[in-house]
A and B are shown apart, each in its own frame.
Chain A
């Protein structure tokens, strides 16, 4: 078993067009490293140079927004489902 990750349309250029990919790791950070090893360039799109999750990206682990569960330190395990989405917001 692995962790299923749903990829937003624009990032599917990194996954050969696949909507979902699989990875492993104990934390979200480790999972992203594993995904990046398989799909080069993915990490750069999600994590800033300062090592934080990009603020314009929403990541969910089993429906929970990771902003509220420890961001990149959020624990993940086999069988979890991770969803990556663009944040939608703005202002005048």
Chain B
């Protein structure tokens, strides 16, 4: 199961909408060894394409170096599909099954295929799904959106003096 906070969920959806009709991509980093997606890092789609995404190789190096310095790893790797369902494509599966790709990664797919200009209407919903991809095998997992990780409280219960 992927447990993700509301603000990060919304940020991923907003990024996907913003870059539509091109695919958007990025990671959510978290403390290495944990399942906590805490730090939203939108990346540039170097392919700038409606059918393909890739992290620029220099950006990728900088991203991993930064995560390394902070003892983080990419808990979530996300990208959008802009004309098809939010399900990993053969290309997605190929890369995710690569010899250096960590099978503990949660692959989040967002589809903006039904999204109109941001009208706020019901038909404006995007699909948001999460998958594990191990050796070419895809398994979908539940997504639980929590309000906040902050001490297990929702922000409204935090009292400032």
Contacts and interface: CB of A to CB of B under 8 A. Distances in A.
Interface in A26-59: 44-46, 54, 56-58
A84 B16 CA distance: 29
Interface string B72-113: 010001010111100011011011111111111000000000
A16 interface: no
Given A8-B102, A85-B64, A91 B77 contact: no
B88 A10 contact: no
B25 interface: yes
Given A56-B95, A89-B55, A10 B89 contact: no
A58 B101 contact: no
A91 B98 contact: no
Interface residues of B, number: 41
Given A63-B61, A91-B91, A56 B52 contact: no
A54 B100 CA distance: 9
B88 A58 contact: no
Interface in B8-29: 23, 25, 27
B147 interface: no
Interface of B: 23, 25, 27, 32, 47, 49-55, 57-58, 60-61, 64-65, 68, 73, 77, 79, 81-84, 88-89, 91-92, 94-104
7 contacts: A9-B104, A19-B68, A58-B60, A87-B57, A90-B79, A90-B96, A92-B51
